[in-house]
């Protein structure tokens, strides 16, 4: 089994060293990379697919690919997280799941309900969130992807474009159209941009 | 009433997206996913080890076979001393183990490779190639290098550390 490895020191990019160890079959290195990158990859896949099982499968595929061929990642082409998200993206597209089910409550509730808001406020907030996710899932894949990567995952535009496999301007256009369509569906004003 | 508690249709999109982003950040991969990957890692580790083990095993077998072959060759060295003229080392320190005619034949073709093989041989074997040895140390092995022709013949020997 993979042993426990503490978090690496902040500010020190030890990714190349971990990949080097991974290439030599070091399970601890794989575990460290998983704990560092898996969250973002899984959240991207979950937001895109809307299905926890599909998101887990896509994340699984991404890390299996990394473990099988660590040299497949080229640091000069972007961050490791973007590379893994790209693999998960391919896995999701391969699944060709048309259904974009609502996010599982098991994964999206929990701490989100914490705070001082009243049950009534939480209910309203929940309604707003559900309506948003319904509208997101109705967006075409490219617009949904741009919105998830930039607005929901708050990734840099360049990284989002790399994952989506498009030019920066194309990503901006998709994002703009996605926001417009989303606002129209929700009947929400768009006088301000999230970022 | 803050933005998030207004009716959904009246909330600005940016507020909704910020809330959804915050919500999404709290999502973590299921523990079962890590277990699946750990199982996959463990399952793939065995073939990975085998993949490395196979060449090593073959290399080891080849080395053992070569050592066995050399031992047999050393044991079959002529029991009678070779002519004294053969026991004269060359400038490189090699003592020919074959007659002059055979030596000429073997070395005439410069394109045919020969290998230098490090080994140890019983000290008493020095006598068989016309070299002096101390009988009191007959049991001690002596380090040597053998010049092995592509034909399989051991054509020369050089003592090391003597």
Residue A31 sits in the same domain as residue A65:
yes
Residue B91 sits in the same domain as residue B112:
yes
Q: Is A121–B5 a contact, with Cβ atoms under 8 angstroms apart? A: yes
Residue A184's contacts (CB-CB under 8 Å, 6 or more residues apart) are none
CATH number reported for the structural domain that contains residue A182 in this entry: 1.10.10.10
Question: Where do we find the tokens 């001690």?
Answer: B140
Judge whether A142 and A187 are in contact, CB under 8 Å: no
Report which of residues A6 and B108 the model is more confident about: B108
Q: Chain B residues with CB inside 8 Å of A60's CB?
A: 33, 36-37, 40
Q: So what's the pLDDT on residue B90?
A: 61
Residue B14 sits in the same domain as residue B29:
yes
B9 Cβ under 8 Å from any chain A Cβ: yes
Smallest CA-to-CA distance from A145 within A102, A170, A175 is with A175
Residue A75 in tokens: 């640091």
> DSSP 3-state helix, strand, coil percentages of chain B (rounded to 5)?
55, 15, 30
pLDDT tens-place string over residues B48-88 = 655 555 566 677 677 777 777 776 766 665 554 444 444 55
Q: Tell me how many domains chain A contains.
A: 2
Report which of residues A160 and A128 the model is more confident about: A160
Residue A65 in tokens: 């690919």
**Rounded average pLDDT over A8-15:** 64
Which residue of B5, B11, B20 is in closest CB contact with A188?
Answer: B11
Beta bridge partners of B119: B144
Q: Has residue A31 got a pLDDT over 60? A: yes
Report which of residues B65 and A139 the model is more confident about: A139
Q: Which helix (H) or strand (E) holds B118?
A: strand B114-122
**Rounded average pLDDT over A75-82:** 88
Q: Chain A residues with CB inside 8 Å of B44's CB?
A: 67-68
Judge whether A179 and A190 are in contact, CB under 8 Å: yes
**Rounded average pLDDT over B111-130:** 74
Q: Has residue B153 got a pLDDT over 70? A: yes
Residue A74, min C-alpha distance to chain B (Å):
22
Residue B98 sits in the same domain as residue B125:
yes
**Rounded average pLDDT over B102-111:** 73
Q: Has residue B107 got a pLDDT over 60? A: yes
Q: Chain A residues with CB inside 8 Å of B32's CB?
A: 56
Q: Chain B residues with CB inside 8 Å of A153's CB?
A: 21, 24
- Domain containing B67 equals 1-76
pLDDT tens-place string over residues B17-58 = 888 898 899 999 999 999 989 888 888 775 565 555 556 667
Q: Which long-range contacts (CB under 8 A, 24 or more apart) does B90-94 make?
A: B90/B156, B92/B158, B93/B158, B93/B159, B94/B147, B94/B156, B94/B157, B94/B158
Which residue of B14, B19, B29 is in closest CB contact with A125?
Answer: B19
Residue A105 lies in a domain: no
CA distances to A58, A85, A137, A176 from A165, rounded to whole Å, are: 17, 11, 20, 17
Distance between CA A39 and CA A191 in Å, rounded?
Answer: 31
Distance between CA B155 and CA B162 in Å, rounded?
Answer: 20
Residue B7 sits in the same domain as residue B67:
yes
What values do phi and psi take at B7, rounded to 5?
-60, 145
B23 Cβ under 8 Å from any chain A Cβ: yes
Range with lowest mean pLDDT among A23-32, A120-129, B122-131? A120-129
Residue A135 sits in the same domain as residue A76:
no
DSSP three-state, residue A14: coil
- Domain containing A88 equals 13-98
CATH number reported for the structural domain that contains residue A45 in this entry: 1.10.1740.10
pTM above 0.90, yes or no: no
Q: So what's the pLDDT on residue A190?
A: 65
Residue B30, min C-alpha distance to chain A (Å):
8
Judge whether B6 and A185 are in contact, CB under 8 Å: no
Judge whether A58 and A92 are in contact, CB under 8 Å: yes
Judge whether A165 and A174 are in contact, CB under 8 Å: no
Judge whether B23 and A112 are in contact, CB under 8 Å: yes
Q: Has residue A113 got a pLDDT over 60? A: no
Last residue of a domain, one of B61, B76, B91: B76
ipTM for this model: 0.73
**Rounded to 10 degrees, what is the CA torsion of A104, A107, A110, A113?**
-60
Positive or negative torsion for Cα A31, A32, A33, A38? positive
Q: Tell me how many domains chain B contains.
A: 2
Alpha-carbon Rg for chain B in angstroms? 36
Q: Chain B residues with CB inside 8 Å of A91's CB?
A: none
């Amino acid at each position: 089994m993979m042993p426990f490895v503490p978090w690496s020191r902040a500010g020190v990019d030890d990714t190349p060293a971990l990949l080097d160890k991974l290439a030599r079959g070091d399970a601890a290195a794989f575990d460290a990379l998983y704990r560092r990158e898996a969250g973002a990859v899984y959240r991207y896949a979950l937001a895109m697919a809307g299905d926890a099982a599909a998101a887990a499968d896509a994340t699984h595929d991404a890390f299996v690919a990394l473990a099988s061929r660590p040299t497949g990642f080229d640091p000069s082409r972007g961050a490791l997280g973007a590379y893994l998200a790209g693999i998960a993206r391919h896995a999701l597209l391969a699944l060709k799941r048309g259904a974009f089910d609502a996010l599982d409550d098991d994964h999206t509730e929990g701490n989100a309900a914490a705070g001082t808001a009243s049950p009534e406020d939480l209910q309203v907030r929940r309604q707003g969130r559900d309506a948003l996710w319904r509208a997101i899932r109705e967006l075409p894949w490219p617009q949904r992807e741009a919105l998830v990567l930039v607005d929901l995952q708050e990734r840099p535009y360049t990284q989002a474009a790399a994952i989506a496999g498009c030019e920066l301007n194309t990503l901006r256009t998709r994002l703009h159209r996605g926001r417009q369509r989303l606002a129209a569906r929700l009947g929400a004003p768009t006088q301000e941009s999230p970022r | 009433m803050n933005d998030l508690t207004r009716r959904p249709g009246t909330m600005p999109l940016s507020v909704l997206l910020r809330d959804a982003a915050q919500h999404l950040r709290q999502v973590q991969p299921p523990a079962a996913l890590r277990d699946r990957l750990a199982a996959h890692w463990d399952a793939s580790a065995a073939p990975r080890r085998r993949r490395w083990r196979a060449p090593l095993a073959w290399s080891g077998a080849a080395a053992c076979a070569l050592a066995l072959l050399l031992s047999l060759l050393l044991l079959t060295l002529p029991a009678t001393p070779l002519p004294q003229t053969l026991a004269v080392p060359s400038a490189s320190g090699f003592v020919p183990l074959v007659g002059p005619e055979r030596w000429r034949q073997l070395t005439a073709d410069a394109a045919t490779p020969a290998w230098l093989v490090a080994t140890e041989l019983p000290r008493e074997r020095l006598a068989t190639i016309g070299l002096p040895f101390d009988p009191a140390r007959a049991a001690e092995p002596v380090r040597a290098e053998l010049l092995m022709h592509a034909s399989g013949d051991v054509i020369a020997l050089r003592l090391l550390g003597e």
